[in-house]
Structure 1
Amino acid sequence: MTPEFRMIPVADLVDHPQNPRDDLGDPQKLAELANDIAENGNTEALHVFPITDGDDAGKFLLVAGHRRTAAARLGNVDELYARLRPDLDTLDKQLETMLRENTHREGLTPINEAKAIQAMLDCEGMSVKKVAKRIHRSETFIRSRSALVKLPESAKTAIDSGRMTLEQSQIFDEFADNPEATEELTRNAGTNDWDFTVRRLRAELARKFKTAASEQLIKDLGIKTITSYESYSSNKYSRDYDRDKTPGERVAEGQVAVLASHGDLEWYQVKKNEKKKLTEEEIADKKRLKDIAAGLEQADALWLEFIERKIAAAAGHFDRPEDTPAVLALRKSMFSGYSNDRARATRVLGIGVTAEGGMTADVVAAVDARVDKLKLLQLAYLHAFLHLMKEDLHKPTTWRCQYAWDRTSLEKFLDTRKEVFGYDVTAYEQEAIDYWNDKDKADAATSAANDEGWDLDDEDA
């Protein structure tokens, strides 16, 4: 069949809606092309398909030559030289022709090309193999270009602008369901942070998959878990690094697991607590310490009652005008120390509420209201109790002087309590002091004997 060429009015040319080229290029070059066509006509024929039905019947659908037609319109050219292509009667044929013409021309971006290829693949009866054969490209090329269509618009823009390479765009498939990761990849494309971003996002993705798998395993096998803090803060657990054991075998052994931050399970053996049989001496010592603890509970109650009576009795003190600054200073600094100062104050102010249920707003308000009514001497006693006195007097360990600074601290407390309140050491407290003194002396003697034994071994050696 002999090709038919003819001059066609520019007004009768209809732009193809699936034209791969969405950018006509440099406006200056387009203007130069317009001048050339106005003066010499178009030396390369357009390819057009005659439209026989619809609103545009009698006109011609542009298949090749969109840029030349745009230049002709710019230069007010009336008609252009064209080849009639009635054979291009299906969309896939038209797309094939447009791609073959444009694919090697400057200005057709990868995304333009990808859209056209995908449009061909969407045509009935088309496949990757058929499209590759018809536009003379490899099947790998067709698949990679088709994948670009699925990218977010921001990534497509980055590719067409040259900020992102086609190789980089393939990484987006890994994060197709993660819009935050997609946005971050797009933002860092073409920057020095790209490789770091990809590694970090891949690590996060791997961690999520591992965590999900570990959580499912915990559910399926009924694995008992502990926190990371429990694993190292308690001597109940020891890490098991055996890689050959299956999770089922570990569960059967009674092991527990920590779901680590990287998503894997870390396994721990649970140490058996074998109760040590105490000697008669150890049993007697344990009983004595228990009796001391009970005595200290009573001593602490007596001390608190004494302070409460002392503060109550000082209510008869009459403040003088010149005492006002001291009163204000004590009130303002009363609770400037530790956060439990108000909780301790509830124990000696007799305000009818305690902090056992926590320092609620009602408890705080009750303490502050009571303090606002105290006289100077009462404030001084309360301030001394809160800031100069030791806490936890009911605990035996409070009375132990293991180091020199412990003894200094305890002696300072007892001296201050005697000097400020006239309160002597009780029999219960003295028993605790004597107990720890005896124990420290015994420990020192044992240590000295052990050291002497080492020295004898050295001499024998």
Structure 2
Amino acid sequence: MANKNSKGLGKGLDAIFSSAFGAETETTPEETVTEINLDEIRPNPYQPRKTFDDEALKELAASIEESGVFQPILVRKSVNGYEIIAGERRFRASQLAKKETIPAIVRDFDEQKMMEVAVLENLQREDLTPLEEAEAYDTLLKKLHLTQAEISERLGKSRPYIANYLRLLGLPAATKKLLQAKKLSMGQARTLLGLKDKQKINRLAERTVKDNLTVRQLEQLVNEMNQVKPKPKKKAKAKSPYLQASEHQLGDKFGTKVNISENKQGKGKIEIDYLSTDDLNRILELLDVNLD
């Protein structure tokens, strides 16, 4: 159950949003901070952060247990209780601290606005893993239909920076897990993407972790693996003296190159080169072949 106990918020969380969303997110005089029961609140389904640092949450929980939550979370009313728009770390830490309620501001956001705030708020805090950041940019592109230029402008990131993160989504699933678990760095993941044979990325990623390869060492390996080795040419089977003599005699007869090949079963073929239609007719006459 929610109890209204104070008015206004000051800048706080809204100061973070204002640069990306403009004046529409600034606190209005009518808004109040409301104490809401934790069991009435559900996480944001569009939360880009998949992992939360346990130690950091414990430290925040200890601070909340001692001094309470200084910055209210942002929620919206849903069919059953409330959904978090921003502030899931404070929500989780309050649960760890055995708190029953948390200060919150209730906003009337639709699905699109909720998604936008959740993604951009987390991107501004810059504590996502590289893969989570890449997925957040992908959400902005595909679900909110922003362009890379618009994302760049809102977040103050260069377009190449955003493009490099989006490329991480092309990694195979097993390598993505290593990146998400922080066993691979952003630099290592980007280097792995340079491997031409994509089927070898997972194996090389595992080797990178196992051997603790640096980015430079990995770059060298990728360059070596990308070098196309020419397939060894099959050595032509040596022709018997009989076939060689036959080629020479036929070549002399037809006045052109003749090639005779033979397989293991003793079957073969004779190839007679000709340079033009007239040359072909000449050879046919020598063979006594009349096409009239």
TM-score band w.r.t. shorter chain: 0.5 to 0.7
Letter in 2 for 1:49: R
Q: Give, in whole Å, the separation in 1 of the partners of 2:144 and 2:127.
A: 29
Spell out, residue by residue over 1:76-98, the C-alpha distance to the aligned partner (whole angstroms, 9 max, x if none): 21111112222x4233x334433
Tell me how far 1:21 sits from its aligned partner. 1.8
Residue number in structure 2 paired with 1:217: none
Mapping 1:249-328, distance limit 5 Å? none
Residue number in structure 2 paired with 1:90: 111
Tell me how far 1:157 sits from its aligned partner. 3.4
The alignment status of 1:32 with 2:59, answered yes or no, reads yes
5+ residue gaps, structure 2, are 1-27, 240-256, 258-292
Tell me how far 1:177 sits from its aligned partner. 6.0
* Identity fraction in percent: 22
The alignment status of 1:6 with 2:34, answered yes or no, reads yes
Residue number in structure 2 paired with 1:73: 95
Letter in 2 for 1:195: E
Across the two proteins, how many residue pairs are aligned to each other? 211
Spell out, residue by residue over 1:394-441, the C-alpha distance to the aligned partner (whole angstroms, 9 max, x if none): xxxxxxxxxxxxxxxxxxxxxxxxxxxxxxxxxxxxxxxxxxxxxxxx
The alignment status of 1:147 with 2:179, answered yes or no, reads no
Tell me how far 1:144 sits from its aligned partner. 1.7
Tell me how far 1:203 sits from its aligned partner. 0.8
Residue number in structure 2 paired with 1:101: 121
Spell out, residue by residue over 1:271-307, the C-alpha distance to the aligned partner (whole angstroms, 9 max, x if none): xxxxxxxxxxxxxxxxxxxxxxxxxxxxxxxxxxxxx
TM-score using structure 2 length: 0.60
Q: 1:158 aligns with which of 163, 174, 178?
A: 178
Tell me how far 1:135 sits from its aligned partner. 3.1
Q: Give, in whole Å, the separation in 2 of the partners of 1:82 and 1:176.
A: 50
Measured at CA, do residues 33 and 175 of structure 1 come closer, stay the same or move farther in structure 2, by a change above 3 Å? same
The alignment status of 1:43 with 2:70, answered yes or no, reads yes
Tell me how far 1:24 sits from its aligned partner. 2.0
Residue number in structure 1 paired with 2:189: 169
Q: Does the 8 A contact of 1:10 with 1:73 survive in 2? A: yes
Q: Give, in whole Å, the separation in 2 of the partners of 1:170 and 1:227.
A: 35
Mapping 1:170-249, distance limit 5 Å? 170-175=190-195, 178-188=198-208, 190-191=212-213, 194-204=218-228, 207=229, 227=233, 229-230=235-236
5+ residue gaps, structure 1, are 52-56, 212-225, 234-253, 255-461
Residue number in structure 1 paired with 2:139: 119
Q: Does the 8 A contact of 2:134 with 2:166 survive in 1? A: yes
Spell out, residue by residue over 1:339-386, the C-alpha distance to the aligned partner (whole angstroms, 9 max, x if none): xxxxxxxxxxxxxxxxxxxxxxxxxxxxxxxxxxxxxxxxxxxxxxxx
Letter in 2 for 1:197: L
Mapping 1:431-446, distance limit 5 Å? none
Tell me how far 1:165 sits from its aligned partner. 3.5
Measured at CA, do residues 107 and 125 of structure 1 come closer, stay the same or move farther in structure 2, by a change above 3 Å? closer
Letter in 1 for 2:37: P
Tell me how far 1:184 sits from its aligned partner. 2.0
TM-score using structure 1 length: 0.40
Letter in 2 for 1:74: L
Q: Give, in whole Å, the separation in 2 of the partners of 1:166 and 1:232.
A: 55
Q: 1:16 aligns with which of 20, 44, 51?
A: 44
Q: Give, in whole Å, the separation in 1 of the partners of 2:161 and 2:238.
A: 54
Spell out, residue by residue over 1:45-86, the C-alpha distance to the aligned partner (whole angstroms, 9 max, x if none): 1011222xxxxx152211211111111112221111112222
Measured at CA, do residues 185 and 26 of structure 1 come closer, stay the same or move farther in structure 2, by a change above 3 Å? closer
Letter in 2 for 1:198: V
Measured at CA, do residues 144 and 196 of structure 1 come closer, stay the same or move farther in structure 2, by a change above 3 Å? closer
Q: Give, in whole Å, the separation in 1 of the partners of 2:187 and 2:213.
A: 15
Aligned residue for 1:155, secondary structure, equals helix
Aligned residue for 2:167, secondary structure, equals helix
Measured at CA, do residues 36 and 165 of structure 1 come closer, stay the same or move farther in structure 2, by a change above 3 Å? closer
Q: Give, in whole Å, the separation in 2 of the partners of 1:121 and 1:30.
A: 30
Aligned residue for 2:93, secondary structure, equals helix
Q: Does the 8 A contact of 2:124 with 2:155 survive in 1? A: no
Q: Give, in whole Å, the separation in 1 of the partners of 2:233 and 2:62.
A: 78
Tell me how far 1:170 sits from its aligned partner. 2.8
Measured at CA, do residues 65 and 232 of structure 1 come closer, stay the same or move farther in structure 2, by a change above 3 Å? farther
Residue number in structure 2 paired with 1:429: none
Spell out, residue by residue over 1:194-235, the C-alpha distance to the aligned partner (whole angstroms, 9 max, x if none): 23421222113xx48xx7xxxxxxxxxxxxxx95644999xx
Measured at CA, do residues 102 and 232 of structure 1 come closer, stay the same or move farther in structure 2, by a change above 3 Å? farther
Q: Give, in whole Å, the separation in 2 of the partners of 1:46 and 1:197.
A: 47
Q: Give, in whole Å, the separation in 1 of the partners of 2:130 and 2:48.
A: 10
Aligned residue for 2:74, secondary structure, equals strand
Q: Does the 8 A contact of 1:48 with 1:85 survive in 2? A: yes
Q: Give, in whole Å, the separation in 1 of the partners of 2:65 and 2:205.
A: 47
Q: Give, in whole Å, the separation in 2 of the partners of 1:11 and 1:157.
A: 31
Aligned residue for 1:77, secondary structure, equals coil
Which has the larger displacement, 109-118 or 95-104? 95-104
